Structure 1
Amino acid sequence: MITLEELKKLRLIHLCIAITFFTSGLTVNFAQLLLHIFLKPFNKQLFRKLMYYLCYSFYCQLVFVADWYAGCTMRVYMDAEDEKKYGGKENVLLIMNHQYEIDWLAGWMISDKMGVLGNCKAYAKKAIRYVPCMGWAWWLAEFVFLNRDYDKDKEIIAKQLKIVFSYPDPTWLLLNAEGTRFTPSKHEASVKFAQERGMTVLKHHLIPRTKGFTTSLPTLRGICPVIYDINMVFKRDEKVPPTMLSLLNGKAVEPYLLMRRIPLEQVPTDEKAAADWLQKLFVEKDRIIDSFHETGSFFTTSGVKEVPYKIYGPRLSSLLNFAGWATYSLSCIFYYLISSLLAANWVGLITALSVLGICTLHLIIPHDTAILICSLICFLTVYWLMGLAINKTQISKGSSYGSNSKKASTN
């Protein structure tokens, strides 16, 4: 008899998750579009309130995969008084290290526990908004999309931040100050850049690009009172790699997060001083991550005040939400199969059954090369779409940005 662990590795289960995710995504996109057309011109507050729930319903399906399906355990280190008094109750600018494929998902997991997942937003590349499902959801939810052209972006930032922080519920806005995901080649370029300019070399981060941060500060003051510095890490000897594929296979990973609350008034108002402040923050972040890898603790050699950790359990809402969307999505598939049969739509019926049939054969004969190839062909479209909406659309998707050591860190 097949075990639950083996069941989670089946391609058929992955296909069901993919179908649920994309069906719900397109449904949410359509509902978002209707809100933009029929509600936003007349009542922006109600529009943004409803947008929160639509985004939450879509995003938390991936939180379900991590929390319930894979059974991940997250340890969050945060001052207990700050967590009790402020957690999920204020507008926040998040500054997070950007090293892992699923660091964005770890951020979603903690924001879900804090009750702000539906209002999680980010600075993102403009091209992302054209990607189906996730990109469209972000576009319609009024994310800050940038061109990476400073003259254009400074106007976009000033305008869009006012919109982002006008939502009736607390909003968390993610700024990846490193500009791109950490890779060995980009780190090499970053090290060379720092050495040429007499800057402190970072071991675990790229030199932060300060223009987006300093350009945002004048608008943020008065509408966003605080920065959360998030230091997220996985143990180097972790047997399960921190990837979406690991989670889809039902393998748990264990992220460790140190969250520090920094009031925005601690950041200098002068642009150059604010840029220096951000550089020093990343030097400190580097010591924190280095301490964890060397000693197993964020605090031993970093000089940062030690705080206790808390393990947040999964929320029932993400389980019920996914169950509802799965029922809806898979019911649509079965309805299509039955209606195709009754209407003698043989092309549609045979195509759908072929995909499901090859999935089943692959489960029965997992080592048959021919069946594996057929399965991969059938799943190509689905996984390509998943790659676009989960990997490419996430901030975690690395680009060539930052690979050129000749570019200045403030560009």
Structure 2
Amino acid sequence: MGYVKGISFVLLWYIGIIWSVIYIYAPFFIILPFSRKLYRKATDIILSCWEMYPVSLLQLMMGCRICLSGDEIDPAESAIIIMNHRNRLDWFFLWAALLHGCRSPAHRCNVRWIPGIGWGLQMAGFLFLHRNWKKDKEFLKRALDYFKELGENYLILIFPEGNHLFDATKKKSNAFARKTGLPGYDYVLHPRTTGFTFLVQQMQKNSRLDAVYDLTIAYPKTLPINELDILSGKVPEEVHFNISRYAGDTLPRDEQGIKTWCEERWAEKEASLKKFYSERNPDRRRLSPKVRFARPLNAMFLAVVSWTAVTVFTTYLTFYTTWGFYYTCFSISGFLLVSYFTYGIQNFELDLFYKYDYHNESK
């Protein structure tokens, strides 16, 4: 039954992504050359609606419970989210935390190359990085300045550890710690602070840093490591998030101060997670004494029914109508060309802005 549920969950989610991107997202691409602001608002609304679907499947179909403690996330703020990286799927479970831990639905998390989800996230303005700091620094600056000029609020997720926690990365991280006189960690990796420091300083410079949200994620029982675990039905019974909000004006402004601030948060995570996992009874593990168990929302039942219906209907259009088949082939070809011969739709969006809007405004 685990494999049946796991495969059904992944198929519903993934097929739903592909057809939603092709039939709902793609038509809005024609707006982009004419109005960046309208395009951004339209794609953000679609993403917020769609993201409820995989979260609803996760909770209603797979029985995963989301446990929250600490502060709420305000999506009306421009903020940075930092989080420890326990496995390759943390970003997916974060969607559930954002749904239940925000004052209202929100979001902006690398899956760029995956057909379907990668295309949709390109259109949604997700910031995909090269893992080359020279290129990434320039791209991040352009993107942050772009959102500032549009007057858009945004949440940027960054995993300062740079990789998820497993034996090889832990060994490498602690080897670095020994060389630099830092303590060894068992439950987190030492953070790489270059990207985080740049984001903080650039957003401070733009007067757009309202807050930094520090999230600690933990899995008290089942721990999936990668996508194959989900296919086999290995979904965590619970995922715990502790959220701490730090006002933007309380962060240091100098590079060393920001670096030290981030390292202090990771030392706190290590202590918190050590205490969490030292509890022998998984049912009693808590990141905080005050835990909010996120109950399924009524809208989640509607999301499952409506988005599954959309998936079935668009599947029918694709394989049983001529225009649907050719439209799908045309859309997929377009996404593939843009994704593999440029650095994605999000870069094309920035290029249009800096060539036309920004140039005209500067005049």
TM-score > 0.5 by shorter chain: yes
Post-superposition CA distance 1:341-364 (Å, at most 9, x none): xxxxxxxxxxxxxxxxxxxxxxxx
Partner residue, 1:234 = 219
Q: CA deviation at 1:146?
A: 1.8
Partner residue, 1:291 = 275
Q: CA deviation at 1:101?
A: 3.9
**Residue type of the partner of 1:311?**
F
Q: CA deviation at 1:69?
A: 0.8
| Equivalent-residue separation in structure 2 for 1:170 and 1:248 (angstroms) | 38
Partner residue, 2:156 = 173
2:87 to 94, 100, 115: 100
| Equivalent-residue separation in structure 2 for 1:308 and 1:137 (angstroms) | 36
SS in 1 for 2:64: coil
Judge which range, 322-331 or 267-276, deviates more: 322-331
1:311 to 293, 300, 321: 293
Post-superposition CA distance 1:7-28 (Å, at most 9, x none): x7537x8358515632443432
Q: CA deviation at 1:325?
A: 2.6
Judge which range, 15-24 or 253-262, deviates more: 15-24
Partner residue, 1:262 = 246
Judge which range, 324-333 or 45-54, deviates more: 324-333
Partner residue, 2:177 = 194
Change (3 A) 1:230 1:66: same
SS in 2 for 1:10: helix
| Equivalent-residue separation in structure 2 for 1:332 and 1:252 (angstroms) | 31
| Equivalent-residue separation in structure 1 for 2:14 and 2:152 (angstroms) | 25
**Is contact 1:142-1:163 (8 Å) kept?**
no
Partner residue, 1:144 = 127
**Residue type of the partner of 1:319?**
F
**Residue type of the partner of 1:111?**
L
| Equivalent-residue separation in structure 2 for 1:252 and 1:16 (angstroms) | 14
| Equivalent-residue separation in structure 2 for 1:250 and 1:182 (angstroms) | 18
Change (3 A) 1:23 1:231: closer
**Is contact 1:119-1:170 (8 Å) kept?**
no
SS in 2 for 1:223: coil
**Is contact 2:108-2:156 (8 Å) kept?**
yes
**Does residue 7 of structure 2 align to residue 14 of structure 1?**
yes
**Residue type of the partner of 1:95?**
I
**Is contact 1:143-1:164 (8 Å) kept?**
no
**Residue type of the partner of 1:55?**
L
**Is contact 2:161-2:190 (8 Å) kept?**
yes
**Residue type of the partner of 2:209?**
C
**Is contact 2:75-2:104 (8 Å) kept?**
no
Q: CA deviation at 1:336?
A: 7.5
Post-superposition CA distance 1:158-196 (Å, at most 9, x none): 111234567777532110000111111110011011101
| Equivalent-residue separation in structure 1 for 2:179 and 2:144 (angstroms) | 34
**Does residue 21 of structure 2 align to residue 28 of structure 1?**
yes
Change (3 A) 1:224 1:277: same
**Is contact 1:25-1:58 (8 Å) kept?**
no
SS in 2 for 1:147: coil
| Equivalent-residue separation in structure 2 for 1:77 and 1:265 (angstroms) | 23
Q: CA deviation at 1:292?
A: 0.9
Partner residue, 1:44 = 36
Partner residue, 2:256 = 272
**Residue type of the partner of 1:66?**
L
Judge which range, 132-141 or 251-260, deviates more: 251-260
Partner residue, 2:354 = none
Change (3 A) 1:272 1:133: same
| Equivalent-residue separation in structure 2 for 1:151 and 1:337 (angstroms) | 45
| Equivalent-residue separation in structure 2 for 1:329 and 1:15 (angstroms) | 13
Structure 2's unaligned 5+ residue stretches are 323-363
| Equivalent-residue separation in structure 1 for 2:60 and 2:49 (angstroms) | 15
- What is the percentage of aligned positions where both structures have the same residue? 20
Change (3 A) 1:264 1:129: same
SS in 1 for 2:125: coil
| Equivalent-residue separation in structure 2 for 1:63 and 1:165 (angstroms) | 30
SS in 1 for 2:301: helix
| Equivalent-residue separation in structure 2 for 1:242 and 1:16 (angstroms) | 15
Structure 1's unaligned 5+ residue stretches are 1-5, 300-305, 341-411
Change (3 A) 1:332 1:226: closer
